[in-house]
Amino acid sequence: MLKKIIFLLFTIFFIPINAQITVMIDPAGDSKNVGRKLVESYERTITFKLAEKLKQKLHERYSYNCVLTKYYGEEVIELQNASFANRLNVDLYLSLNVFRHEFAKPKLFLYNLIRNRLVDFAVRSIDQFKFVSVYQSHYLNINKTKVYVESIKNYFRRKEYANKFDFYGAFGIPIKSLIGITAPAIAIEIGLCNEDQLDFFVEPIVESLNFLYQEVIS
């Protein structure tokens, strides 16, 4: 926990002052949960590899501040990532998940948090400076999340990626990894039959997040 506090303070005070977009990336698993078994390794290992590649590419291309939710060997307690994201006031929260897929062509699924579509999208006035239940935190930016999800979904549906992977979504479900986060939050789940296929997804995911950069410069 001390490492997390030090990391949080470092992130807050040493982020470049000219940076405008902060993306928090959450690779699945932690020191006590290695995740699902893949071909040669486990979900935790593969999602960390993907997270590191995305972090580097997003910074190089768009100068985004990309922060990982944890160190590779760190144990994460319930709602720790949500608290971390909310304190940093991130612009986007991205959860990464990988599973073993039996067929040669990989798959990509896109999710966002919806508990009840009628209730979640009801018009309401929420004071962001007052206490909000963790189960209602996503209300604060739910319409922005919807716009972001549509933008990412449309990018993944491009013809140029049709031969590389099958895309499914977006699905609004009560996904646990996104609970408690006030920023727009999405989850990506990738199905692989070969762990080398992971590199197929780096460029599409990076390019799909270009809209954040366009918002800043427009």
Per-residue pLDDT, 57: 96
- Look over the chain and give the mean of its residue pLDDT values, rounded to a whole number: 86
Q: What is the pTM of this model?
A: 0.86
d(CA 207, CA 205): 5
pLDDT in tens, 137-177: 888 899 999 999 999 999 999 999 999 999 998 999 999 99
Where do runs of H (alpha helix) occur along the chain?
A: 2-14, 43-62, 80-88, 117-120, 142-156, 202-208, 210-217
d(CA 165, CA 142): 28
CATH class, domain 40-217, is: alpha beta
Residue with tokens 């940076």: 19
pLDDT-above-90 percentage for the chain = 55
pLDDT in tens, 90-147: 999 999 999 998 889 999 999 999 998 888 888 666 666 667 788 888 888 999 999 9
pLDDT of 5 above 70: no
Instruction: Give yes or no for a contact between 74 and 3, defined as CB atoms under 8 angstroms apart.
Output: yes
Structural domain boundaries in the chain: 40-217
Per-residue pLDDT, 15: 45
